[in-house]
Amino acid sequence: MKQELIDTAFKVVGWLVVSYLYGVMISFILSKIGQKKWQPVAGKKADSFIHGQLIGNIERTFAMLLISLGNVGAMSMIVAIKGFARWGELSKLDNDVQSIAIDKFIIGNLLSLGFPVLIATIWFFANKF
């Protein structure tokens, strides 16, 4: 029982570390998209990065939990919540910056949610054979 608890703790900590590093990679990829820089309307650049990392880690963890519970359809709830939360901010931007910001938002979501799906797929096939 104690060994199972230790194994689970290592898996959770490992997931959080990998998820954080993947979030850093997503931020790097998104920084290369578009000519004009876009930052959230409120807050400093450093604050938005930290909040984005935290939200991304929570998002990927919930997605992995939903996948492991077999409720993949509920991942659409994550996308809906993020879209609803960002809509007001994105709609206030100028047209030339808005298209870049929306592209970054969509690409970031796909990269972020694609990661738990990829990990779950690898896990499924690794345990199947």
**Across the 129 residues of the chain, what is the mean pLDDT of every consecutive 10-residue run?**
82 82 81 58 51 78 84 84 82 80 84 85 82
Burial label for 117, CB within 10 Å (0-12, 13-18, 19+), is middle
For residue 109, give every residue at least 6 positions away whose Cβ sits within 8 Å of its Cβ, in sequence order, or none.
79, 82
Contact 120, 70 (CB under 8 A): no
Q: DSSP assignment, residue 34?
A: -
| CA nearest neighbour of 78 among 55, 101, 94, 98 | 55
Tell me, what's the pLDDT at 38?
47
How much is the CA Rg of the chain, to the nearest whole Å? 17
Tell me, what's the pLDDT at 50?
61
State the Cα–Cα distance between residues 19 and 54, nearest whole angstrom.
10
